[in-house]
Copies of this chain bind each other. A is one copy, B any other.
């Protein structure tokens, strides 16, 4: 049973079974929450949102499920440097609109921006190619984030 290699393009009903995973109530609840928010939720945030309706779903399951979803590519795991991971639904079939993040180091607010993405992507591709060749790395991923103070936090000082 090969689970690490199921990067098919079908949608998530088949995506689960195709990889030998079972579709459970908890998993559906988590996908449901993530697919309906624009926020970047932590495991506990998700737990809080799910708990009223599904008191039976524990935090452990949330973590385990997020891990599975992340491996399946249905969810992105994000790290904004505050010690807790955030998760974001990876837009399914309609195509992921690529974006990067702008993070307020004071209040934690996160802005997704898609501006400048084209230029960034262009440069990234070049850089990746160059680095790959020079350092013999097979580059699979990149991380770009800007940090600073949002208008509100900047005003407070």
- Chain A positions near chain B (C-beta within 8 angstroms): 79, 81, 102, 104-105, 111, 113, 115-116, 119-120, 123, 126-128, 130-132, 134-151, 154
Contacts and interface: CB of A to CB of B under 8 A. Distances in A.
A116 to B, nearest CB: 5
A143 B145 contact: yes
B131 A115 contact: yes
Contacts of A140: 105, 147-149
A8 B131 CA distance: 35
A81 B105 CA distance: 18
Contacts of A150: 135-137
Contacts of A79: 79, 81
Q: List 5 tightest A-B contacts by C-beta distance, closest first.
A: A139-B148, A136-B151, A141-B147, A143-B145, A138-B149
Contacts of A145: 142-143
Contacts of A115: 130-131, 134
Given A130-B116, A146-B142, A147-B142, A137 B105 contact: no
A132 B149 CA distance: 10
Contacts of A127: 116, 119-120, 146
22 contacts: A79-B81, A102-B131, A102-B135, A102-B137, A102-B139, A113-B131, A115-B130, A116-B127, A116-B130, A119-B123, A120-B127, A123-B123, A127-B146, A132-B148, A136-B150, A137-B148, A137-B149, A138-B148, A141-B146, A141-B147, A142-B145, A143-B144
